[in-house]
A and B are shown apart, each in its own frame.
Chain A
Amino acid sequence: MSPHLRRTLRRTLVVVGHGMVAHRFVQAAVERGLTETHDVVVIGEEARAAYDRVALTSFFEVGADALSLLPSGVYDDPRVRLLLGHAVEGFDLEARTVLVDTGEVIAYDELVLATGAAPFVPPVPGHDLPGCFVYRTVEDLEAIRDAAATARSGAVIGGGLLGLEAANALRGLGLETHVVEMAPRLMAVQVDEAGGATLARHVEGLGLHVHTGARTERVLGTDAVTGLALADAEPLEVDLVVFSAGIRPRDQLARAAGLEVAERGGVLVDAQCRSSDAHVWAIGECAAPAGRMYGLVAPGYAMAEVVVDALLGGAGTFEGADLSTKLKLLGVDVASFGDAFATTDGALELVFADAVAGVYKKLVVSDDGRRLLGGILVGDASAYGVLRPMVASGIDLPANPEELILPQGRGGAEIALPDEAQVCSCNDVSKADIVAAVSDGGGCDSASCVTRCTRAGATCGSCKPVVKKIVEDHFASIGRTVDRSLCEHFALTRQELFDVVAVHQYTSFDQIVAAHGTGRGCDVCKPVVASVLASTVGGHVLEGATAVLQDTNDAYLANIQRNGSYSVVPRIPGGEITPEKLIVIGEVARDFGLYTKITGGQRIDLFGARMEELPAIWRRLVDAGFESGHAYGKSLRTVKSCVGSTWCRYGVQDSVQLAIDLELRYRGLRSPHKLKGGVSGCARECAEARGKDFGVIATEKGWNLYVGGNGGANPAHARLLAGDLDTETLVRYLDRFLMYYVRTADRLQRTAPWVDSLEGGLDRVREVVVDDALGLGAELEAAMATHVAAYADEWKATLDDPEKLRRFVSFVNAPDLPDPHITFRSERDQAVPADSDGPVLLGAAIPVGRPR
């Protein structure tokens, strides 16, 4: 039987390759419903799922996990099958089958080629000696790192964008680094001679050696690289060589199958990215729409969307791409956009150069001086966000266009973008899309929300400042000031209030509201003040006048439930509990008639306690060695753990011990919102640590620390902050991270939106926490040390203090009389609240005490 006849009603779509573009294709296929009719099989040659190749160099800092675009390794949609670590050996256009190196033959209805490109290695003698590398995959970087451990110096052949990235990497690995470029300047495709010279000065200022106009004749060495011979120049002594001299489309499979290819390589495709065979498509670097290949990710993404559209019957086409570039290379801003080399007839150039500051800016304008055609920015690319959309939209330039590139303070014109201007070129988002997202019905209330919902700024991030500006301008235009005041009593954010309290060393709400507020506070600002004072002053939350600042649950150290009764949660650190203690919880629940339920945080919740019963319940629990679980507080809840290496045959570290240590270290810490942690003993992640504000996952070498996860209505996966840490470093980073969050987050802002709200996002957190860029590390650690040293169990302290116990009465004039409003019925053999149908009047026979 032929494969065609075996097909069922569902069709099969095979994707060859799993790089960034293939991943985007699968994402779009799932989002747009293509998987309703198609099973998708993705075959990737690399052992790991798609990762962010654009940010490849950061691999050395953050590790491979942080680069992953699919950290779980599987798509949420079960109709997508991902086969990694296997190559496709060929395909048959007649039979419509794909042959995998496992021997499996997969029949397809549609085939999408996303095989990417391979680095071009010039065929100079010695190019294959040990010590020669390319710069494309995580494995390449791992090999370079290993070789660099014993090397002293290295050369990168190629001074383009990727070559400078590679040179930066070699420098970061501690090598004396040479950049060898055949063209007369660096980044010859993007910048002109003056721009290249400015860039070279920056690069040389960092200690790199730049050789332009230099042709490599051979790689020297017999068993391994010892140097590089250049034409018309002295040879370089180097121990390793990285080739970064461009890329070539990987079109060998297509050629072998008989598909048409472009003159300069790449699968020749039409505007819908369809190849010379009607059922085969090509996207990304392996494709050549109209004969031209694109080595950037944004055009690849556009092609992915076009093919999904075509398979759904749409008419979308790929019409070439904006090759504008903005990046930071070795700490230097470089941008190139539009007609950067002034090739348009009659084009004029406006140049601003400041050799001292290392800034070069060039605008290319039309002969009448009215339209911006392109430009080059080196050293300061802050104007890129405004300039690039001006080229695309063709709006009129201001009368003095040079002001657009003058440094701030020497002009600086404000230009309003037209609605159709494309703001995000990676994801094709226009200004109108962004305004729509924050308008009525759009549902977004901040720039970070716009990025999540429209993807503007979600890929390279270079347009984020423009997105923010558009959002702010829109709110200003509709008269909505983005008011970040806490409430009518304080025109301050939580962070500002925190700073004010810390600087003036206030100890009471009265002092703070007298100096910085109005009125007598409310249910919003009082709990915030209570939380801030808990961080700055410490002490018991029910001490003196702070008791009346506490929110509902903190005020009674328990969680109020719908009928006015409370639930009680003793701390069970790491979820580990002895049988004896488990029995005590059972006995207390039985004796007080409490409904019991296991929580998601690996502890036990006891429901239905009357307020006046709380002290008696806690007397029993404290005597048995329990302490408050702070389930009632905006504070650390639990650190969940899997059973770890003690029992589990897969575990590589003792996750239970670490979870207990962390829970005991951070217990009682008051924070802007609740905080949860998790520790998994191996990569199987049974503790679901990445669903927590801080998650720790054991590796063979130590611990990976992830931050900014949560469950709930807006679930977020925690992202890698730092990898392979020893326990001491892990705790130090966590101390800093948590204190930084406690001090700077908004009220009721969990860690995930807090990270997003920071300028620079997770990278900023890493700078502060790991690199200590603000020099705050010691201070944050000291603040946490103070917290740890001052911790005392809130419930034990309450039981020991008659003043604090006074509030736990049902009626001030009948302290132990059970409130008749609280009644229960039975469900599944336990007590649950009976519905209230209004205020209850007690009979006159009930004895009521007299005031003392």
Chain B
Amino acid sequence: MTAVCRVEDVPVEGGVCALVDGTAVAIFRTHDGNLYAISNYDPVGMASVLSRGIVGTRGGAAYVASPLHKQGYDLRTGQCLDDPEVRVATYDVRVDDGVVWVGTS
């Protein structure tokens, strides 16, 4: 796993993008304090932008809305909530002594 930043670098209900093993990963912090990591690449809009989306809930699930065309992605599974055919990669994320670690394996 790669140490990318401190927890407080990730805004609550916001995201940051990090380079992890050469891959652009979007890291989000939800209102309850949980951290999630998914691919930063929006497969519908074809651009690396998901960390800049609005974070909220749909049903009970935490999600991010793509800043390009607003498709929602479940932060736990990477599943696109507006198109069952679309899913983005998810990554392991943990916090150790205030430092955020992300794995791509």
Contacts and interface: CB of A to CB of B under 8 A. Distances in A.
Nearest to B21: A844
Contacts of B83: none
20 contacts: A489-B56, A489-B57, A520-B57, A521-B54, A523-B56, A526-B54, A545-B12, A545-B13, A560-B52, A812-B10, A812-B16, A812-B17, A813-B2, A814-B19, A819-B24, A821-B24, A822-B47, A840-B24, A842-B23, A851-B6
A526 B46 CA distance: 25
Contacts of B59: 488
A548 B22 contact: no
Contact of B56 (A522, A563, A850): A522
B23 A839 contact: yes
A836 interface: yes
Contacts of B6: 851-852
Given A851-B5, A851-B6, A811 B52 contact: no
A811 B14 contact: no
Q: How large is the interface on A (under 10, 10 to 19, 20 to 34, 35 or more residues)?
A: 35 or more
Main secondary structure on B side of the interface with A: strand
B1 interface: no
Contacts of B52: 552, 555-556, 560, 611
Nearest to B51: A812
A563 B9 contact: no
Contacts of B13: 520-521, 545, 548
A817 B19 contact: yes
The 4 A-B residue pairs with the shortest CB-CB distance in the complex, in nearest-first order: A523-B65, A552-B67, A564-B47, A821-B48
A519 B68 CA distance: 23
Contacts of B10: 812
Nearest to A835: B46
Contacts of A852: 6
B8 to A, nearest CB: 10
A819 B54 contact: no
Contacts of B21: 844
Interface of B: 2-6, 9-14, 16-19, 21-24, 27, 30-31, 39-41, 45-49, 52-60, 62-63, 65, 67-68, 70, 72, 99-100
A555 B15 CA distance: 12
Contacts of B12: 545, 548
Given A547-B11, A821-B47, A839-B41, A848 B60 contact: no
Given A519-B60, A521-B57, A523-B56, A848 B19 contact: yes
A846 B19 contact: yes
A551 interface: yes
Contact of B24 (A488, A545, A551, A839): A839
A548 B49 contact: no
B23 A841 contact: yes
B43 to A, nearest CB: 8
A841 B22 contact: yes
B39 to A, nearest CB: 6
Given A812-B5, A812-B9, A839-B23, A548 B45 contact: no
Given A545-B12, A838-B41, A851-B100, 12 more contacts: A520-B30, A522-B57, A522-B65, A523-B54, A523-B56, A526-B54, A547-B14, A555-B52, A555-B67, A839-B40, A846-B19, A851-B3
A32 interface: no
A489 B10 CA distance: 24
Contacts of B70: 523
Interface string A818-833: 0101100000000000
A560 B67 contact: yes
A212 interface: no
A620 interface: no
Contacts of B72: 522-523
Contacts of A526: 54, 56
A810 interface: yes
A564 B5 contact: no
A835 to B, nearest CB: 7
Interface string A792-809: 000000000000001101
A844 B100 CA distance: 20
B76 to A, nearest CB: 14
Interface in A525-565: 525-527, 545, 547-549, 551-552, 555-556, 560, 562-564
A625 interface: no
Nearest to A810: B17
A841 B3 CA distance: 18
B93 to A, nearest CB: 13
B19 to A, nearest CB: 5
Given A520-B31, A813-B18, A819-B24, A560 B55 contact: no
Contacts of A479: none
A843 interface: yes
A576 B60 CA distance: 51
Contacts of A846: 19, 22
Given A523-B53, A548-B54, A813 B14 contact: no
A579 to B, nearest CB: 37
B57 A562 contact: no
A548 B23 CA distance: 24
A821 B40 CA distance: 11
Given A520-B30, A547-B11, A560-B68, A819 B48 contact: yes
A560 B42 CA distance: 14
A240 to B, nearest CB: 64
Contacts of A552: 52-53, 67-68
Nearest to B88: A839
B57 to A, nearest CB: 4
A844 B23 CA distance: 10
Nearest to A488: B58
B54 A522 contact: yes
A520 B59 CA distance: 10
Nearest to B61: A519
A813 B19 contact: yes
A381 to B, nearest CB: 47
